[in-house]
Amino acid sequence: MSRFSAGNQTFFYLFATATAVIFLIKFIFGGYDFLYPDFAEGYFSAAWSKLEIFKKISTEALKWRELANENEELRKQNKELTQKTTLAGALEEENKFLRRTVGITAKIPGRFVLGGIYNLNLTPSDYNVLLNRGSKNGVSEGDIVITAEGILVGQVKQVFGAFSKLLFITDPAFKISGKISRSTNSRQAGSETKGLVKGRLNEELYFDLITRKDTVKEGDLVVSSGDDTFPPALIIGTVSFVAANETGVFQTVKIRPAVNGESLAKILIMMR
């Protein structure tokens, strides 16, 4: 670009000097056409036209460069705006989550750590669920994991420095004492149906030890009873299947867990 500009300037100066000399001679020797022949006029007219084209090209090139610089600046501003918008959205989601936790943390005494699940691999033969909190965050084995709405997710089974492994609620190794939760105006509010909730690899739970005399129906809400190491009133799920055994003592009851993948982005770890 520097060579191009220098050449342009030199050409312009030479052309201006020659033009000035010719016109000065014509002004002094106005009657002598041999000093200003017709071919000279045509030559300078053509040269002037080429110079005008050259100037237009230079002007367009300068405009293009200015537009390119402006476009780059707009890209930079748009990137910064996108980052600010993303950060604002993340902070808003964080605030919403914290507002939802107020109710559950007021009901359940203790200390909580905010966290999230970054790996959820549930297959018929293997469960691999990882939390993004570990020993450096104060997490220890046996800590209980819930959502902001009080839905039971599982229990910490192995702790590392920066992360932990979770025993998911539907894992066959997971067990919790549960009961049917009924409203106070229900006819059966005074009677409690309790049993042992066990995980099954097919994303379901079994409600064991429910006798034929126990009252249970599809749609009933199942919560933790508080008869073990888990606090009471944690939401486990709803009854999805009931079958009475005419010859046996117990009923077959299945529970659909309340937890789902959408509610696991942010969780609460209850410190024990």
How many domains does the chain fold into? 1
pLDDT tens per residue across span 68-100: 787 787 777 777 766 666 555 555 555 565 556
**How wide is the angle at C-alpha 233 spanned by C-alphas 241 and 105, nearest 5°?**
140
Domain presence at residue 186: yes
- Kindly tell me the burial class for residue 181, based on how many C-beta atoms sit within 10 Å of its own C-beta (0-12, 13-18, 19 or more): buried
Instruction: Single out the residue of 123, 136, 102 nearest to residue 168, CA to CA.
Output: 123
Quick one: tokens of 106?
């007021």
User: Which pLDDT score, from 0 to 100, does residue 184 have?
Assistant: 45
Domain presence at residue 66: no
Domain presence at residue 194: yes
Helices and strands in the chain: count of H runs, count of E runs = 2, 13
Domain presence at residue 222: yes
Domain presence at residue 209: yes
Instruction: Single out the residue of 125, 206, 115 nearest to residue 166, CA to CA.
Output: 115
Domain presence at residue 170: yes
CB 226 within 8 A of CB 190: no
User: Which pLDDT score, from 0 to 100, does residue 142 have?
Assistant: 93
Cα–Cα distances (Å) from 54 to 8, 45, 47, in that order, read 9, 14, 10
Domain containing 221 — which CATH number?
Answer: 2.40.10.350
Quick one: tokens of 57?
């090209």
Regions of the chain where pLDDT drops below 70: 1-16, 18-55, 81-110, 124-126, 183-191, 203, 261-263
Domain presence at residue 50: no
- Kindly tell me the burial class for residue 233, based on how many C-beta atoms sit within 10 Å of its own C-beta (0-12, 13-18, 19 or more): middle
Domain presence at residue 245: yes
Structural domain span for residue 245: 113-272
DSSP three-state, residue 6: helix
pLDDT tens per residue across span 203-239: 689 999 999 889 899 999 999 998 998 999 899 999 9
